[in-house]
Amino acid sequence: MKTILAMPQDQQHLMFGPGQLQELSGLVEIEVDRTVPDLQAAADEQLADVEVLITGWGSPRLDAATLQRLPALRAVVHTAGTLRRIASPALWEREDILVTTAAEANALPVAEYSVAQILLAGKQSLSREAAHRRCRGQEHTSTLAHGGNFGAVVGLIGASRVGRAVARLLRNFDLTVLLSDPYVSEEEARGLGAELVALEELFRRSDVVSLHAPDVPSTQGMVTGALLASMREGTTFINTARPALVELDALREQVVSGRLSAVLDVHDDLAPEDPLWDAPAVSITPHIAGSLGNELHRLGESALEEIRRLCTGRPPYAPVDPSMLAIVA
């Protein structure tokens, strides 16, 4: 089964460990030391008998013209989450091509990071650290009366792969978990250990709000200024999803004033002079919640499992359902 790594040069060594690449080369006909970053530049004879494309971040777009040059293609195995940048409508029209994603594998480190930040937020760590630094550790007033994670209320926005993983992990702690998602039933929410509530109620009741909704047209700007203003003073908003889902001006106002704390792992629109950079009770990180370092090999393992299943005729583990594209990332 001829397979090519349709991804930027050397990216396969990030996504797969040496042992994984060795196993891959034993399963399919593939050059594991060579990628094809540009399918348009590849010769017709190189593509004519390709049955499987292994793709990832930065892979070439699979448009109608490219697919026409891949007549034997039967599977696209993606080593990342969303395929929006590489999958054209022509790909979804090809019912004979299986498309799989490593989105579930990529959701796990985001969920782990989110849970860590939720627990720290329960301790009000950002505001307390800022105060501790400001007075160089010389404050004498007790800070034990407020906050804590025993019985605290955590609001999760979105029962995405990440949101569901966060809910499952939070069952290990003495927390009340609220969930808001228009596509989830009360029974499903209870199965996740959460109480299904409207978005407005979630913001009013929560000590920590963590955003896990997909970036689709219906969710852009969903976290409004009114919702942020309804959060109690001293509570924390966490965004590991996408910046487009939040009204940035409203968030800036709440955080810079010190009324709310925030954990922002996604912040594409922040200018260098944005006052959020210097706000004391905000954590701003460069999207480290997602897979990095050795965690990328989990994505490679997910893709490798799909190849194993293809080779043995078993059903795929994580096929992409085109009918769900409007509500998933």
User: Can you give the pLDDT at residue 188?
Assistant: 96
* Selected residue with higher pLDDT from 323 and 255: 255
Least confident of 37-46, 98-107, 263-272: 263-272
* Selected residue with higher pLDDT from 255 and 81: 255
User: Can you give the pLDDT at residue 47?
Assistant: 94
pLDDT at 323 exceeding the cut of 90? no
DSSP 117-147: HHHHHHTTHHHHHHHHHHTTT---S---SS-
User: Can you give the pLDDT at residue 130?
Assistant: 85
User: Can you give the pLDDT at residue 108?
Assistant: 96
pLDDT at 141 exceeding the cut of 60? no
User: Can you give the pLDDT at residue 290?
Assistant: 93
pLDDT at 10 exceeding the cut of 70? yes
User: Can you give the pLDDT at residue 142?
Assistant: 55
Homologous superfamily, domain 3-100+293-324: NAD(P)-binding Rossmann-like Domain (3.40.50.720)
User: pLDDT (tens digit, 9 = 90+) per residue, 282-308?
Assistant: 999 999 999 999 999 999 999 999 999
Contact 31, 313 (CB under 8 A): no
| CA–CA separation, 70 and 4 (whole Å) | 11
pLDDT at 187 exceeding the cut of 90? yes
Mean pLDDT on 216-222: 90
Q: What are the C-alpha distances in Å from 328 to residues 9, 155, 220?
A: 29, 20, 13
Backbone angles phi, psi at 261, to 5 degrees: -100, 160
User: Can you give the pLDDT at residue 219?
Assistant: 92
Confidence band of 136 (pLDDT split at 50, 70, 90): confident
Burial of 146 (0-12, 13-18, 19+ CB in 10 A): exposed
| CA–CA separation, 239 and 121 (whole Å) | 13
Confidence band of 140 (pLDDT split at 50, 70, 90): low
* Selected residue with higher pLDDT from 186 and 140: 186
Which pair of structure tokens corresponds to residue 157? 């926005």
Mean pLDDT on 189-210: 97
User: Can you give the pLDDT at residue 267?
Assistant: 84
Mean pLDDT on 86-107: 93
User: How remote is the C-alpha of 14 from its chain's centroid?
Assistant: 18
Homologous superfamily, domain 107-284: NAD(P)-binding Rossmann-like Domain (3.40.50.720)
Q: One fold for both 3-100+293-324 and 107-284?
A: yes
User: Can you give the pLDDT at residue 146?
Assistant: 82
Which pair of structure tokens corresponds to residue 234? 């001293």
Q: Give the predicted TM-score (pTM) of the model.
A: 0.91
pLDDT at 27 exceeding the cut of 90? yes
User: How high is the mean pLDDT of the chain?
Assistant: 93
* Per-domain residue ranges of the chain: 3-100+293-324, 107-284
Q: Is 137 left (phi over 0), alpha (psi -120 to 50) or beta?
A: left
User: Can you give the pLDDT at residue 134?
Assistant: 83
Mean pLDDT on 264-278: 89
Confidence band of 133 (pLDDT split at 50, 70, 90): confident
Beta strands 98-100 and 75-78, pairing class: parallel
Contact 210, 156 (CB under 8 A): yes
| CA–CA separation, 69 and 329 (whole Å) | 28
* Highest mean predicted confidence (pLDDT) among 1-5, 83-87, 122-126: 1-5
